A and B are shown apart, each in its own frame.
Chain A
């Protein structure tokens, strides 16, 4: 079945360092979404990418969708303690509400 792999599983950084998480799908995606889940919380929608090669920025966060629409990345510049949490990518296929989530990358930021 369709799988979405996400690496790394964990990342510990010093505040101010950059952070990147990568997402790879076994099949071509119609869109990819990114979510953040704080400890004890629920996933919160960050962004959706639809177009091949698309790049979107939200302040210190940069999201990319690969040319083949099978991979994506999230890069955070100059991490802050407020960035702590688990970042999930989720792939959508076709005209469907079904999302396949990656396993998530848990980010710890040391002040």
Chain B
């Protein structure tokens, strides 16, 4: 079974721009979560989607948003990029509807200049 895939793998953007990241979960997984990983803050939860509904949201500003499609694929969007948004963005999918073990994708490395 193919793993979680994320596109693009690397991205360089300028302050003020917006960015959209994509995640395809493992086939059959309906729950998709997004995390931000930085050296200083570690792994921080962004949001979780299940059946196209946002079920949980972390403590991030409204510039961070996401959505899930009927095929469970998910996208996250960051508007008005700031330098501090530079991070590894990880998507994880789960086979159960109540967030049991999560399978992470390789991540998208976003650099904001």
- On A, residues with C-beta under 8 Å from B are 1, 31, 33, 35, 41-45, 48, 88, 90, 92, 95-104
Contact = CB atoms under 8 A, between A and B. Distances in A.
18 contacts: A33-B101, A41-B106, A43-B104, A45-B103, A88-B43, A92-B99, A95-B98, A95-B99, A96-B48, A97-B33, A97-B50, A97-B99, A98-B58, A99-B33, A100-B45, A101-B43, A101-B45, A102-B42
A97 B102 CA distance: 9
A98 B99 contact: yes
A104 B58 CA distance: 19
Contact of B106 (A31, A42, A48, A95): A42
Given A44-B104, A45-B103, A97-B99, A1 B45 contact: no
Binding site secondary structure of chain B:
strand
A31 B100 contact: yes
B66 interface: no
Contacts of B104: 35, 42-45
B44 interface: yes
A98 B43 contact: no
A104 B38 CA distance: 12
Nearest to B98: A95
Given A42-B90, A88-B43, A99 B102 contact: yes
A101 B42 contact: yes
Nearest to A101: B43
A32 to B, nearest CB: 12
B34 to A, nearest CB: 11
